[in-house]
Amino acid sequence: MLAFIIRRLIQSIAVMLTVALISFTLFQFVGDPINNMLGQEASRDDRAELRQRLGLNDPVPIQFVRFVGNAVRGDFGISYRMARPVSTVIMERLPATLELAFVSGLFALTLGIVLGVYTALKRDGWLSNFIMTASLVGVSLPTFVIGILLIYLFAVELQWLPSFGRGELVQITDNWRTGLLTESGRKSLILPAITLGLFQLTLIMRLVRAEMLEVLRTDYIKFARARGLSQRAIHFHHALKNTLLPVITITGLQLGSIIAFAIITETVFQWPGVGLLFITAINFVDIPMMSAYLILIAFIFVIINLIVDLLYFLVDPRLRAEKSGGH
Amino acid sequence: MADTLLSVKDLVVEFPHRRGNLRALDQISFNIDRGEILGVVGESGAGKSLTGAAIIGLLEPPGHVAGGSIELDGRRIDNISAAEMRKIRGRKIGMVFQDPLTSLNPILTIADQLIETIQVHLKMSDKEARKQAIKLLDDVGIPAASKRIDDYPHQFSGGMRQRVVIALALAGEPELIVADEPTTALDVSVQAQIIDVLKNTCKEHGAAVMLVTHDMGVIAETCDRVAVMYAGRLAEIGPVREVIKHPKHPYTIGLMGSIPSLAHQVDRLVQIPGSMPRLDNIPTGCAFNPRCNKVFDRCRTERPDLIAVEGNLAACWLHAEEATA
Amino acid sequence: MSTESKTPVDDIKPASLWFRIIDSDLFNSFIRKPVIVASAIITLLIFAIALFAPWLAPHTPFNPSSLNLMDGFTPPMTANEFTGNEYLLGTDNQGRDILSAIMYGTRISLFVGFAAVGLAALIGITLGLLAGYKGGWVDGLIMRIADVQLSFPAILLALLIFGVARSILPPRVMDEATVWVLVVSIALSDWVQYARTVRSSTMAEKNKEYVQAARLFGVPAPLILLRHILPNVMGPVLVIGTIGLALAIILESTLSYLGVGIPPTQPSLGTLIRIGQDFLFSGEWWITLFPALTLLTLALSVNLLGDWLRDALNPRLR
């Protein structure tokens, strides 16, 4: 068990280092940081001095080590565009994205599993067919189109829900302001959360359905039938657990990509999170911001991956026994 | 003989297909008596496993019973509701599948699966059911059953798992066990043990067995009677000794001649030329006629029924000639 | 004698080919599903309209001299209050005919989609063949990259590649090459599926006896790959390509919507939707909703076709 965790940790660190290397390369080869910081008309001496001060004259490996060291301490430099430390800006924006991702992930996961199981069990029912067709529409709908349609229906025509922003916020810590505690905050969250979650919802649902159908075809389900167990016991005691096991992995990764997909939703609803920050950074070629976002996303992915692995480990008796040395 | 437990009459199983119905089982008739062991042999695709699936009501859709009847204890079970059939499965008819590695749910303990099955069929408290489960494991020869019961399937070897499967099949105290190639997936070294366990425990529990296999050796050592299937039809059925020593159907004769362990009196192994026809391409008359070395005109036009010959029943016109001649 | 024997053969051959198509499982599963037939017809229709947009479109929406600002914000199928001009799907703020803009926009979206799928398939198939045939460290390297890439969402990757291109290329070059940068970003974020599929088929195929025999006879590796292995992977590649086309169209429109894609001077469907969203709140819904519906119809039809194709070619996956 311990060896397994250690191996996983080492792999995670390797992934993080790779991503750091990509970010670092961005810094090295894309744009000239001196130009970006001093502007075109700075004098040659000023440039040389800044180069020296930033350590840009050191050998590349040393620069990389320094880059990683800074990143570990949360120092990603100064945003070219906002002239403020990147990490401060990101920490201000992160709660908005995390709240949005969490709510839409919860929405996608619960509804996805329920609908997936339902459509697998009632395979040829009209409601199942309808849900499956609707899910294909869901996959084909680009996220931003869903958002716009929802805005048109619920914000413009019916005027039930706000179409942009986070509503009224409550300060919890220095950096963390939440919209979950006020009514307008919760109302503002509904449309973005649905928009962001719908795609994941269809994916999870289709995955659960496919996996469940696969499990229902296995010998042990046939054998359970042959022993006269009730439909209910077969479906929910025998099949569901086996279905959810592989679903954990892929779903975990999906939840990770929600954070990345938030870029689109945040643009549609002008939701002040890190995704919106990243789009602005790309448009203004704000390299420190881009690379910090990249590292942040990678970090979230790696953490989710680790959690998923551990979870899998705890749920599957085969893995548990193997790794703990039982026979 | 003893009283009849299962009676299959003119059973037809069909699979609808774009170009018409595929007839996978064509007018199969046989009986199984209480406590008897009936072997069913044939090449793969002959319909052995399908017969077992039809009896326990677990044909894969779109396959379905399209004719004939199946009676258990004199009561028809081929046309009853799904809920009724569920009460029969496990309680009256148990089943043992081919591959013990995939027959057990990998994430439930043996205790979970056994106790659940016992409690579905027999009114028992958790404690009684657990006791009964340990006894069953004991019966099928699992050492230290009271300890091993809380293990997961992957902690058992293949042979041990098949014993667990047999225990599970017997958990509802059924009167008939359908065993579908129970040793095919096992190591050769444990095959004989498992057959012994199957035979003896079923005898102790008073269950008859329908043993589907392609291993004539197993049949010879285990069964009371044997049915030989070919292309979805019954070719011959009779007491094991008779069928092996004096096969009546040319296909059975060929089959016995091709098995080394049984052919010691014969000079050399015989091979039947050709191969079994596909289900969508079965010849008119006797299905075996294109490969038969004793074929004559009638075989090509008229399908033979089972004809009684010296204690066996064989679907072959040769014996009709003999009977009338 | 020769003429007599030739005629029936010539008669039979095309007929039997036709019959084989009609009788094939693929065709049968196609013709029996009205939804799929409808999707195919709609897809082909959209392709045709996009292809012939310059001849079919009632106006030339991107020629500033032909635009009349007075025509702006004309609702669908209503006469403009100043000019009296009527447009089937209305006009945008600059008096541009929405219908024509959609036709041209679809043309750009489809061009990017096809080009990206083609490039992704080319990269993916090449690397897949290479990885599967060579094995060893080549295989290890390619598949490791694929694994890492697969765990990141395509949109993020495409955004990043686009961002890098923007910061490397001088602005003037970037403006002209936007479409191609877009194609490359989408292709680079989408080649993994092809590579994986082709690799596994290649590995299965290369150990078969006829390939071994060809190797023994000294047939060069590229020829073996092209003649023997490639034909065997075309089915799955077709499925991935069809679904990939829908994905590429969606990705392109998303990037354009986010403002990093096609510039407004030559708007794709995504750009049109972005421009129109601003007017949604003031009641001019047609400017954004018609392009959005077009995009939806196109992506849905192609997706349905891809889904069906996958099921039809591989029944087990259902």
For residue B70, is it within any domain?
no
First to last CA, chain C: 53
The set of residues, in sequence order, having a beta carbon less than 8 Å from that of C151 and lying 6+ positions away, is A253, A301, A305
For residue B92, is it within any domain?
yes
Q: Residue B154: closest CA among chain A residues belongs to which residue?
A: A318
Q: Name residue B209's beta-bridge partners.
A: B37, B177
**Is A218 at the interface with chain B, CB within 8 A?**
yes
Question: Inter-chain contact C299–A144, Cβ cutoff 8 Å?
Answer: no
pLDDT in tens, B94-117: 999 888 888 999 888 999 999 999
What is the mean pLDDT of the segment spanning A129-137?
85
Question: Inter-chain contact A321–B171, Cβ cutoff 8 Å?
Answer: no
- Sort out which chain A residues have CB atoms less than 8 A from C281's CB and list them: 156, 163
| Most confident segment among A14-18, B6-10, C61-65, C235-239 | B6-10
Q: Please indicate, yes or no, whether residues B90 and B50 belong to a single structural domain of this protein.
A: yes
Segment (H or E) for A51: helix A44-54
Q: Going from the N-terminus, what domains does chain A have, and what CATH number goes with each?
A: 93-275 (1.10.3720.10)
Q: Residue B55: closest CA among chain A residues belongs to which residue?
A: A226
On the question of pLDDT at B54 being above 70, the answer is yes
What pLDDT does A116 receive? 92
For residue B123, is it within any domain?
yes
Q: Please indicate, yes or no, whether residues B179 and B253 belong to a single structural domain of this protein.
A: no
What backbone phi and psi angles, to 5 degrees, belong to A81? -85, -40
What CATH number is associated with residue B147? Answer: 3.40.50.300
Q: Lowest-confidence range among B135-149, C59-73, C281-295?
A: C59-73
Q: How far apart (Å, rounded) are the C-alpha atoms in residues A138 and A200? A: 10
Question: Is residue C66 within 8 Å of C60, Cβ to Cβ?
Answer: yes
On the question of pLDDT at A327 being above 70, the answer is no
Q: Residue A321: closest CA among chain B residues belongs to which residue?
A: B155
Segment (H or E) for B39: strand B37-41
Chain A interface mutation, best of B50, B103, B112, B156, highest count of A Cβ atoms under 10 Å = B103
Q: Please indicate, yes or no, whether residues B215 and B279 belong to a single structural domain of this protein.
A: no
What pLDDT does C148 receive? 74
pLDDT in tens, A88-115: 888 888 888 989 998 998 899 899 999 9
What pLDDT does A36 receive? 63
**Is A238 at the interface with chain B, CB within 8 A?**
yes
Q: Name residue B15's beta-bridge partners.
A: B22
The set of residues, in sequence order, having a beta carbon less than 8 Å from that of A46 and lying 6+ positions away, is A38
Structure tokens of C71? 């025509």
Q: Please indicate, yes or no, whether residues B145 and B248 belong to a single structural domain of this protein.
A: no
Structure tokens of B188? 């050769």
What is the mean pLDDT of the segment spanning C249-258?
88
Q: Which of B154, B111, B151 is nearest to B135 (CA)?
A: B111
Q: Please indicate, yes or no, whether residues B163 and B247 belong to a single structural domain of this protein.
A: no
Q: Please indicate, yes or no, whether residues B121 and B39 belong to a single structural domain of this protein.
A: yes
Q: How far apart (Å, rounded) are the C-alpha atoms in residues A54 and A144? A: 41
First to last CA, chain A: 15
For residue B193, is it within any domain?
yes
Question: How many other CB atoms are found less than 10 A from the CB of residue C249?
Answer: 29
Q: Provide the residue type at C17 as one letter.
A: L
For residue B101, is it within any domain?
yes
3-state SS class at B161: helix
Segment (H or E) for B15: strand B4-17
Res. A326 pLDDT band, cuts 50 70 90: very low
Alpha-carbon gap: A209 to the closest alpha carbon of chain B (Å):
19
Alpha-carbon gap: C307 to the closest alpha carbon of chain A (Å):
9
pLDDT in tens, A6-51: 888 888 888 888 888 888 887 776 666 666 666 666 677 777 777 7
- Sort out which chain A residues have CB atoms less than 8 A from B103's CB and list them: 219-220, 223
Question: Inter-chain contact A220–B105, Cβ cutoff 8 Å?
Answer: yes
Better-scored residue on pLDDT, C68 or C202 = C202
On the question of pLDDT at A149 being above 50, the answer is yes
Quote the radius of gyration of chain A (alpha carbons, Å): 24
For residue B64, is it within any domain?
no
Question: Inter-chain contact B116–A237, Cβ cutoff 8 Å?
Answer: yes
Structure tokens of B63? 């396959």
Structure tokens of A143? 């996220």
Q: Which of A5, A2, A27, A1 is nearest to A294 (CA)?
A: A27
| Start-end of H helices in chain B | 48-55, 82-88, 100-103, 110-121, 126-139, 145-148, 158-170, 188-204, 216-222, 240-245, 250-257, 297-301, 317-324
Alpha-carbon gap: B315 to the closest alpha carbon of chain A (Å):
32
Better-scored residue on pLDDT, C69 or A78 = A78
pLDDT in tens, A191-234: 999 999 988 898 889 889 989 998 988 889 999 999 989 888 88
Question: Inter-chain contact B154–A326, Cβ cutoff 8 Å?
Answer: no
The set of residues, in sequence order, having a beta carbon less than 8 Å from that of A242 and lying 6+ positions away, is A215, A218, B105, B106, B107
The set of residues, in sequence order, having a beta carbon less than 8 Å from that of C99 and lying 6+ positions away, is C57, C58, C87, C88, C89, C290
Q: Please indicate, yes or no, whether residues B159 and B181 belong to a single structural domain of this protein.
A: yes
Q: Closest to C155 (Cβ–Cβ): which among A152, A260, A283? A: A260
Res. A311 pLDDT band, cuts 50 70 90: confident
pTM of the predicted structure, to 2 decimals = 0.77
Q: Sort B128 into a burial class: Cβ within 10 Å, 0-12 / 13-18 / 19+.
A: middle
pLDDT in tens, C179-208: 888 898 889 888 888 998 888 888 877 777
Question: Inter-chain contact A142–C257, Cβ cutoff 8 Å?
Answer: yes
Q: Which residue has the tokens 């000639």?
A: B321
On the question of pLDDT at C136 being above 70, the answer is yes
**Is A219 at the interface with chain B, CB within 8 A?**
yes
For residue B28, is it within any domain?
no
Q: Provide the residue type at B116 as one letter.
A: E
Q: Please indicate, yes or no, whether residues B182 and B40 belong to a single structural domain of this protein.
A: yes
Structure tokens of C138? 């080549």
What is the mean pLDDT of the segment spanning C246-267?
82
Q: Please indicate, yes or no, whether residues B175 and B311 belong to a single structural domain of this protein.
A: no
Angle between helices A143-150 and C286-313 (to 10 degrees): 140
Q: Please indicate, yes or no, whether residues B125 and B192 belong to a single structural domain of this protein.
A: yes
In chain B, % of residues over pLDDT 90: 38
How many helices (H) and strands (E) would you count in chain B?
Answer: 13, 12
**Is C254 at the interface with chain A, CB within 8 A?**
yes
Question: Inter-chain contact A227–B86, Cβ cutoff 8 Å?
Answer: no
- Sort out which chain C residues have CB atoms less than 8 A from A251's CB and list them: none
For residue B211, is it within any domain?
yes
Q: How far apart (Å, rounded) are the C-alpha atoms in residues A16 and A14? A: 5
Q: How far apart (Å, rounded) are the C-alpha atoms in residues A131 and C236? A: 27
Total structural domains within chain B: 2
Q: Please indicate, yes or no, whether residues B214 and B96 belong to a single structural domain of this protein.
A: yes
Q: How far apart (Å, rounded) are the C-alpha atoms in residues A223 and C209? A: 39
On the question of pLDDT at C294 being above 70, the answer is yes
Q: Which of A139, A263, A247 is nearest to A200 (CA)?
A: A139
Question: Inter-chain contact A228–B106, Cβ cutoff 8 Å?
Answer: no
CA dihedral A275, A276, A281, A282 (to 10 degrees): 80
What pLDDT does B165 receive? 93
Structural domain including B206 reads: 35-58+81-223
Structure tokens of B209? 């067995």
Q: Please indicate, yes or no, whether residues B284 and B148 belong to a single structural domain of this protein.
A: no
Q: Lowest-confidence range among A14-18, A270-274, C71-75?
A: C71-75
Q: Closest to A261 (Cβ–Cβ): which among C153, C162, C167? A: C153
What is the mean pLDDT of the segment spanning C28-48?
84
What pLDDT does A14 receive? 84
The set of residues, in sequence order, having a beta carbon less than 8 Å from that of C73 and lying 6+ positions away, is C90, C91, C92, C93, C279, C284
State chain C's mean pLDDT as an integer. 79
On the question of pLDDT at B238 being above 80, the answer is yes
Cα A192 to its chain centre, rounded Å, is 15
Alpha-carbon gap: C209 to the closest alpha carbon of chain A (Å):
33
Question: Inter-chain contact A31–C299, Cβ cutoff 8 Å?
Answer: no
Q: Lowest-confidence range among A11-25, C58-72, C299-313?
A: C58-72
Q: Which residue has the tokens 């049915």?
A: B227
In chain A, % of residues over pLDDT 90: 10
| Start-end of H helices in chain C | 2-23, 25-31, 34-51, 53-56, 98-134, 136-150, 154-168, 171-188, 192-206, 209-216, 221-224, 230-258, 269-277, 286-313
**B93-96 β-sheet, strand order:** B93-96, B176-180, B208-212, B37-41, B225-230, B233-239, B312-314, B307-309
What is the mean pLDDT of the segment spanning B56-81?
89
Q: Lowest-confidence range among B8-12, C114-118, C256-260?
A: C256-260
Segment (H or E) for A136: helix A126-140
Question: Inter-chain contact B107–A237, Cβ cutoff 8 Å?
Answer: no
